[in-house]
Amino acid sequence: MLKPLTADCLTEIAGIRHGFFTREGGVSSGIYASLNCGLGSNDDRAAVTENRARVSRHLGAPLPEVVTVHQTHSASAVTIDGPLPRDNLPKADAIVTRTPGLVIGALAADCTPVLFAEPDARVVAAAHAGWRGATGGVLEAAIAAMVAAGATRSRIRAAVGPCINQAAYEVGPEFEAEVLGLDPANARFFARATAEGRPHFDLPGYVAARLGRAGIGAIERRTPCTDRNESEFFSYRRSQRLGLADYGRQISAIVVA
């Protein structure tokens, strides 16, 4: 059984369905058990296709697919009005649509998924915000594309989904220096257990702060830690720590019904 997390700010919009899907309820096995939706993983392609179809059915969509793009940790957003060819996906990290029945999604395995909706214009978006995409402006790109598609900025609602949390997100001094170089005020998103310890970065806090500065109408966080909740979420960092050959990806999806 699929067990997605949902955000109240999106659930209360009539005609918009969404979910931050966990790893539960799919057909994949082994390290991919069970709802692996990453076509870029080495999982059985038929299993991944079925998992994605289950997500689409759960959201009540007529097509057995969730449209995703070739994510590259960029600040690019694309606007679509129909399915995309799997063998020629655009390179981007946010998708926008206003087409009813077209499920769009973002894949993640520690990075931050963000789902957006504007209730009056009925424009939705899904973004993949790792630290590089977030600092580069992928959230603002998604919002700008929504506005270009007819949304009003002040009416846009955003929900921040499961990702790696600060306690688990140890980074190096070069990472900290790069982020502080962008804005010294970003120091508030770093913490150390001891004065000599390595920095830990608050990715969901940073994402929420960027959204807060974007002038949108509502922001909600549903951000349990992907690294620390193995039974519920895939995690790239955990897979590296355990020496696994690959890792699954969870999907966060939204649709205009």
What does the DSSP assignment read for 82-144?
A: S---GGG--B-SEEEE--TT--EEEEESSSEEEEEEETTTTEEEEEEE-HHHHHHTHHHHHHH
pLDDT, tens digit, 9 for 90 and up, residues 15-68: 999 999 999 999 999 999 999 999 999 999 999 999 999 999 999 999 999 999
Res 222: pLDDT: 98
Res 68: pLDDT: 98
Res 87: pLDDT: 87
Res 195: pLDDT: 87
Q: SS3 of 13, please?
A: coil
Res 200: pLDDT: 98
pLDDT of residue 236 exceeding 90: yes
Q: SS3 of 201, please?
A: strand
pLDDT of residue 193 exceeding 90: no
**Domain 8-165+202-256 top-level CATH class:** alpha beta
| 156 and 143 Cβ atoms separated by less than 8 Å | yes
Q: SS3 of 206, please?
A: helix
Q: Sorting pLDDT into bands at 50, 70 and 90, what band is 186?
A: very high
Please give the mean pLDDT across all residues of the chain.
98
pLDDT of residue 96 exceeding 90: yes
Q: Sorting pLDDT into bands at 50, 70 and 90, what band is 165?
A: very high
Q: Which helix (H) or strand (E) holds 223?
A: none
Dihedral (Cα; 150, 136, 20, 189), 10-degree rounding: -130
Buried b (16+ CB within 10 A) or exposed e, 1-13: ebebbbbebbeeb
